[in-house]
Amino acid sequence: MQRVVVIGSSCSGKSTFAMSLANLINSPYIELDSLHWLPDWQERPDSEFRQLVQREVDKNCWVIDGNYAVARDLLWPKATTIIWLNHSFARVFYRAIRRSIIRAATRQVLFAGNIETFKQSFCSKDSIIWWVLTTYHAKRRNYRSLLAQQASTGTKVIEFTSQRQINNFFTSLAKADV
């Protein structure tokens, strides 16, 4: 696992998983959200975002998390492994609500100094909860065929559908002393 992309729906645990994996295999961790978002929740222009992503994927090893289709052509061909966190809708939706409440209540500072608010989380079309509701099923359908195509090029594809599988994966990596 020299160059790993971690994908999944929003709130599937990509960042937590990717940080843990990067730490375990002693690899740099790159969060696409931190490259994408500017202050005040402004999106970085695609051309600038792609340049930042390209600079990261040109390195020899990394663990990157994120689902940005605009950068998929840069990421996936360079990846040695793609890990899909394919959790159930119920789990992801629960995580979206829980995460939104915690982030708004604690005023947790995110990428580029942004902070999620209760209003943004529960009363806005920019809500991560709304995003999960409107994108989860389509992403899940699309990933199956996209990942099959990528696997046919030699990229290792790993799919996790439960936390138990993830825990077992990390346990086996730790025992292997990567």
Task: Spell out a b/e string for 102-129, using b for 16 or more CB atoms within 10 Å of the CB, else e.
Answer: ebbeeeeeeebebebeeebbeeeeebbb
Yes or no: say if 8 and 87 are a contact pair by the CB < 8 Å rule.
yes
Q: pLDDT class for 12, splitting at 50, 70, 90?
A: very high
Predicted confidence (pLDDT) at residue 19 exceeds the cutoff of 90: yes
Any idea what DSSP says for residue 112? G
Q: pLDDT class for 91, splitting at 50, 70, 90?
A: very high
What pLDDT score does 174 carry?
87
3-176 classified as CATH 3.40.50.300 = yes
Yes or no: say if 18 and 65 are a contact pair by the CB < 8 Å rule.
yes
What pLDDT score does 178 carry?
53
Distance CA 162, CA 170 (A): 13
Predicted confidence (pLDDT) at residue 82 exceeds the cutoff of 90: yes
- Beta-sheet pairing, 29-31 with 81-85: unpaired
Predicted confidence (pLDDT) at residue 176 exceeds the cutoff of 90: no
Give domain limits for the chain: 3-176
118 three-state secondary structure: helix
Point out which residues pair with 8 in neighbouring strands.
85
Q: pLDDT class for 177, splitting at 50, 70, 90?
A: low
Which amino acid is present at 5?
Answer: V
pTM across the whole model: 0.93
Mean pLDDT of 81-86: 98
Predicted confidence (pLDDT) at residue 80 exceeds the cutoff of 70: yes
Task: Provide the mean pLDDT of the chain.
Answer: 94
What pLDDT score does 1 carry?
86
